[in-house]
Amino acid sequence: MSHTDASPTSTNLNFNQSLLAFLQASPTPFHATQCMADTLLAANYTELFEDQTWQLQEQAGYFVRRNDSSIVAFWLADKSQPLRLLGAHTDSPCLKVKPNANMTGKGYFQLGVEVYGGVLLAPWFDRDLSLAGRVHARIDGKIKPVMINFERAIATVPSLAIHLDRDANTSRTINKQTDLPPVLAIVGEKKQDLNTILMAEVRKQYDAVESILDYELFFYDTQPPAVIGLESEFIASARLDNLLSCHVGLQALLNSGAGQNKVFVCTDHEEVGSVSACGAQGPFLEHTIERIWPSIEDRNRLMANSLMISVDNAHAIHPNYFDKHDENHGPIINQGPVIKVNANQRYATNSFTAAVFKQVCNDVDVKYQSFVTRTDLGCGSTIGPAIASGLGVDTIDIGVPTFGMHSIRELAGSEDALSLAKVLSHFYEKDSLTD
């Protein structure tokens, strides 16, 4: 296993600054997808639309979106060659606003929320929260989607004081229905109403707004992402799972050679099972590949020689809870990407795909690690098994080691993102994956 130099470099600092900017600009899957689309357009990739005919040329880059929250980008080098695929997801656990959200209790204006995904709930209390997402409004006589982001802190979920809950530090439980509605305002003469608030936000972009028809809105922490630690060892941010992988994968796509067919997919709804039209268990990626290679014979032949890397975060061994890890599989932050293995196929890794990934790491002098969950604990999953089973493509699950996964603020290593980008770029451009 090879080793990397952990000392900060200007390249690493620049890479991390671009990562922080992406995290800050992407409070929801809609915003993350828009950011990636903007980056692809700036790199001369052409946007395709699913309801139009595609005219594709070799040695050119393209991308297509679905639901404004999932994206497939690809570089078409030579249609006779197999595919190099990378995948990540755009969504993160959070609090999602309910359809009839208005609440007033004891003089306060609140919004009802659902818990989206496997949220670590305790860190959501006493945070400065903002609101962002997608609104569908009637504008100039037509239904149009509008992305909104309040950007400033407009809400908080107040804790109950220790004086009123003496067991808070020993046996506290959180009721998802009653304990989580954020407080936005004190009810006064001016009646607060979410629809009115959204109308005002949409009118900042469109004058002729007739009505708000529906929305998908998510609360998020306004604390900006940051590089922290005595030696700047860490990146602290919301949504590292899995926007870090989205950013790294996109950079690998754009900064690697043009000799291979490269596919990069970021899907929504992974945190709730990926079962949707734009999720990894839906047909979005398969439909895209079918349109590039209409022939079943050609497509199956190419897929037999293709490989997919599913990129999602891995659990770093925690110094305060090291007994939650298998003692031989405790990934360490800033010690390289993690190969994730599960006997019950919660991860798609097999010995062949792991071997290929290890060799790719060795080629670029980046060390790697392995993660297997304790046998007496459950194991999460990724988009890897969903795509592997849908496309029949050899797949490996990997990711950077992370603390506090599914918290409102997660922690990863400041060296790991660039190291992973180096590995994935080489994966995209290496002449032969078995050499």
pLDDT at site 10: 82
Residue 252 is assigned to a structural domain of this protein: yes
CA-nearest of 57, 32, 33 to 44 is 57
What average pLDDT does the chain have?
Answer: 95
Same domain, 209 and 274: no
pLDDT tens digits along 159-175: 999 999 999 999 889 99
Angle at the Cα of 135 from the Cα atoms of 130 and 140, rounded to 5 degrees: 135
Which percentage of the chain shows pLDDT scores above 70? Answer: 98
Asked if residue 342 lies in contact with residue 354, where contact means CB atoms within 8 angstroms, the answer is no
pLDDT at site 8: 57
Q: For residue 105, what pLDDT band results from cuts at 50, 70 and 90? A: confident
The span from the CA of 277 to the CA of 293, in Å, is: 21
From 161, 187, 221, give the residue that closes a domain: 221
Same domain, 320 and 259: yes
The span from the CA of 435 to the CA of 433, in Å, is: 6
Residue 123 is assigned to a structural domain of this protein: yes
Same domain, 213 and 113: yes
| Contacts of 81 by beta carbon, 8 Å cutoff, 6+ apart | 260, 261, 302
Q: For residue 238, what pLDDT band results from cuts at 50, 70 and 90? A: very high
Angle at the Cα of 272 from the Cα atoms of 271 and 278, rounded to 5 degrees: 90
Asked if residue 238 lies in contact with residue 92, where contact means CB atoms within 8 angstroms, the answer is yes
Structural domain of 195: 94-221
Which class for 256: exposed (0-12), middle (13-18), buried (19 or more C-beta within 10 A)?
Answer: buried
- Burial 378-413, CB ≥16 within 10 A → b, else e: ebbbbbbbbbbeebebbbbbbbbbbbbbbbbbbbbb
Residue 229 is assigned to a structural domain of this protein: no
CA-nearest of 104, 155, 110 to 132 is 155
Instruction: Report the length, in residues, of the chain.
Output: 435
The span from the CA of 127 to the CA of 154, in Å, is: 10
Residue 232 is assigned to a structural domain of this protein: no
Q: For residue 3, what pLDDT band results from cuts at 50, 70 and 90? A: very low
> Looking at the 3D structure of the chain, how many domains does it have?
2
Is pLDDT of 83 > 90? yes
The span from the CA of 157 to the CA of 110, in Å, is: 10
Which percentage of the chain shows pLDDT scores above 90? Answer: 93
54, amino acid identity: W
Q: For residue 1, what pLDDT band results from cuts at 50, 70 and 90? A: very low
What is the reported pTM? 0.95
Same domain, 336 and 350: yes
Whether the bond between 242 and the residue before it is cis, its omega within 30 degrees of 0, is yes
Same domain, 314 and 396: yes
pLDDT at site 198: 97
Q: Which helix (H) or strand (E) holds 215?
A: strand 209-221
Same domain, 317 and 418: yes
Q: Which helix (H) or strand (E) holds 41?
A: helix 29-42
Residue 231 is assigned to a structural domain of this protein: no
pLDDT tens digits along 16-43: 999 999 999 999 999 999 999 999 999 9
Same domain, 204 and 249: no
| Contacts of 418 by beta carbon, 8 Å cutoff, 6+ apart | 11, 12, 15, 16
The span from the CA of 429 to the CA of 212, in Å, is: 47
Same domain, 113 and 184: yes
Q: For residue 378, what pLDDT band results from cuts at 50, 70 and 90? A: confident
Is pLDDT of 327 > 70? yes
- What are 33-36's contacts with CB under 8 Å, separation 24+? 33/65, 33/68, 33/69, 33/70, 33/71, 33/90, 33/266, 34/68, 34/147, 36/63, 36/71, 36/73, 36/246, 36/250, 36/266
Same domain, 191 and 307: no
Residue 75 is assigned to a structural domain of this protein: yes
From 191, 221, 251, give the residue that closes a domain: 221
The span from the CA of 423 to the CA of 365, in Å, is: 9
Question: Residue 101 region, left (φ>0) first, then alpha (ψ -120 to 50), else beta?
Answer: alpha
Question: Of 6-10, 151-155, 265-269, 336-340, where does mean pLDDT reach its minimum?
Answer: 6-10
pLDDT at site 380: 87
Same domain, 172 and 207: yes
Residue 411 is assigned to a structural domain of this protein: yes
Q: Which residue's entry shows tokens 């030579």?
A: 78
Question: Residue 383 region, left (φ>0) first, then alpha (ψ -120 to 50), else beta?
Answer: alpha
The span from the CA of 149 to the CA of 160, in Å, is: 28
- Alpha helix stretches (DSSP H) within 150-239: 168-171, 194-202
Asked if residue 202 lies in contact with residue 148, where contact means CB atoms within 8 angstroms, the answer is yes
Q: Which helix (H) or strand (E) holds 286?
A: helix 284-292
pLDDT at site 4: 43
From 221, 254, 289, give the residue that closes a domain: 221
pLDDT tens digits along 387-402: 999 999 999 999 999 9
Residue 326's alpha-carbon distances to 241, 254, 342, in angstroms, are 22, 37, 12
Q: Domain with 120 in it: what CATH number?
A: 2.30.250.10
pLDDT tens digits along 85-94: 999 999 999 9
Q: Domain with 266 in it: what CATH number?
A: 3.40.630.10
Residue 311 is assigned to a structural domain of this protein: yes
Same domain, 343 and 425: yes
Same domain, 86 and 172: no
